[in-house]
Structure 1
Amino acid sequence: MDRSGAISAVELERALVNGDWTPFDLDTVKLLMSMFDVDRSGTIGFNEFCGLWKYIKDWQNVFRHFDRDRSGTIDRNELREALRQFGFNLSPPLIELVQAKYDIKASNVAGAYGPTPGITFDRFVRACVVIKQLSGAFQGLDTDNDGWVQINYDQFMQTVLSLP
């Protein structure tokens, strides 16, 4: 937008909107930037943007598939089903935690006409990516694949803070 030939996080945030015309959450934009800014310049160029755009379009299809009631948001049951189909069998308390963390109404972020209950598209993408990254980090530590790890505080902090 500044005619530099590259897009910053702020410019990307201005360019992306949800189905209800609310802007993408800045944390989601930053996550996408960290994934597609392959040269770590702080901006994404044309080729990086093409990859990002395809990624967003693919996620839109996933979102539409799981938004069974066509509300434009993902409710608790839709979230549980989506995560289950992605291979993440989270316990009911974890589903509740994810819902509370990413639900736009629960986090007091209002759209143009007030908050819409449920997880918006951008937050759904972020929730799924974060769950995938956390699960991958856990699996890397679960050397005997028994669903348990034993790590010290420093290892825990390094694992969590190394994720985008």
Structure 2
Amino acid sequence: MAYPGHPGAGGGYYPGGYGGAPGGPSFPGQTQDPLYGYFAAVAGQDGQIDADELQRCLTQSGIAGGYKPFNLETCRLMVSMLDRDMSGTMGFNEFKELWAVLNGWRQHFISFDSDRSGTVDPQELQKALTTMGFRLSPQAVNSIAKRYSTNGKITFDDYIACCVKLRALTDSFRRRDTAQQGVVNFPYDDDMAAGGLVLPWGQWRRFAPQQPQQWC
């Protein structure tokens, strides 16, 4: 049985600079990085950012196509994937990794936002998921759309959360479907873990649409 792949996407998005970068230690070459101003503008003296600071950073960057607050729960999810030392924060190098992944998601999102509204509707969402290899029933797509939409529209940050969580569930399922029959039995604890959808960063990064790759 084939399992979902991920789309390829090109291009990149770099925000306008903040100029000087207050707060947080700097390292050689970092201050020349166009992303460093955004990171350092919200980072503490320890050079780390938490979910609230990441929310401010992404909101100010305009990566979602506007300047409304980026979804805080999505930011918590992303920080947790990068939080290798369980500190609840991430450093600049992790932020750069995250930015590269977000660029891939942004390009993919834009390609299905046919009316350039800054959102996708359930039909556009289904097309996007199909290109990633997800073969979901209309009922499943409808349930997902209801969970992540507001008035039938799904924003960029909710789109990220939706796709990441789908990937987490798919990876959990695939590990257990050793016969590749499309059917598995989940122990209760594993089912709860899958429902929690805490996905290690390395797995999420593989799934992000940066380069074409076939999952099977």
TM surpasses 0.5: yes
Q: Which runs of 5+ in 2 are unaligned?
A: 1-41, 200-216
Structure-1 separation of matches of 2:197 and 2:168? 10
Residue aligned with 1:22, SS: coil
The residue aligned with 1:140 is 175
The residue aligned with 1:108 is none
Greater shift, 19-28 or 78-87, is seen at 19-28
Report the CA distance shift for 1:72/1:160 in structure 2 as closer, same or farther (over 3 A).
same
The residue aligned with 2:51 is 9
CA shift, 1:101, in A, is: 0.4
Report the CA distance shift for 1:140/1:66 in structure 2 as closer, same or farther (over 3 A).
same
Equivalences for 1:31-42 in 2 at 5 Å? 31-42=77-88
Q: Which runs of 5+ in 1 are unaligned?
A: 106-116
Structure-2 separation of matches of 1:137 and 1:8? 27
Residue aligned with 1:16, SS: helix
Contact 1:137 1:159 survives alignment (8 Å): yes
Structure-2 separation of matches of 1:142 and 1:152? 13
Residue aligned with 1:21, SS: coil
Equivalences for 1:112-131 in 2 at 5 Å? 117-131=152-166
- TM superposition outliers: structure 1 runs of 4+ over 6 Å: none
Structure-2 separation of matches of 1:39 and 1:28? 20
Structure-2 separation of matches of 1:127 and 1:14? 21
Q: Which has the higher helix share?
A: 1
Structure-2 separation of matches of 1:158 and 1:67? 32
Contact 1:37 1:43 survives alignment (8 Å): yes
Structure-2 separation of matches of 1:140 and 1:27? 27
Percent identity for Structure 1 against Structure 2: 41
Task: Describe the superposition over 1:97-118 as per-residue Cα deviations: whole angstroms up to 9, x where unpaired.
Answer: 110000033xxxxxxxxxxx41
Task: Describe the superposition over 1:24-49 as per-residue Cα deviations: whole angstroms up to 9, x where unpaired.
Answer: 11110011101222333211111111
Tell me the matched-pair count.
Answer: 153
Matched, 1:90 2:133: no
Structure number with higher relative contact order (C-alpha < 8 Å, ≥ 6 residues apart)? 2
The TM-score with structure 1 as length reference comes to 0.85
Matched, 1:70 2:112: no
| Cα root mean square deviation, aligned | 1.7
The TM-score with structure 2 as length reference comes to 0.66
Structure-1 separation of matches of 2:183 and 2:90? 38
Matched, 1:19 2:61: no
Contact 2:77 2:198 survives alignment (8 Å): no
